[in-house]
A and B are shown apart, each in its own frame.
Chain A
């Protein structure tokens, strides 16, 4: 089975990379862009479905996200 982990910066945490992308979009002439936040997607293939959600959550808590600054979401792809 496949899972997708989406890691995003918490609200209120400064995201200079997002700001730089926002600036570049404006420089390209795109209008109406309110704000840009950059995150990460981590795709994981599991060979065993047992307790998949609990194991994925533990992976996020222990390594994939730093919960001081990041939120995460686990999505089961199939």
Chain B
């Protein structure tokens, strides 16, 4: 019998103290669904990086997760400034982070690259001044 679970988590921009909280919760929830540790880890790393991106660059965002027997689909949508040059943003080491982000140990320009590494399929849709949507698929 096939099962499907859906979760949605709001993430508040600029809330640096709570960075990572949602992803820790996501990992706990998915663990409860019996997701194996490697998949669990990749999913949580992808959501953590996305969460930090929302907090760092957007006013507000959402992490939506759909779990089926075959895969985990993560859609991350934010109402941030958008990405002007996606190819550049994907490069390791490229970052537009400010000091608050760097003090937390982020802003090294690894985020999107890291998310891609954890994904079996990864897509970015972004519009300047409107926001960004990341579609991350991880096969179980």
- The finding on whether chains A and B are genuine partners in a shared complex, rather than unrelated, reads no
The chain A residues found within 8 Å of chain B, CB to CB, are none
**A-binding residues in B (CB < 8 A):** none
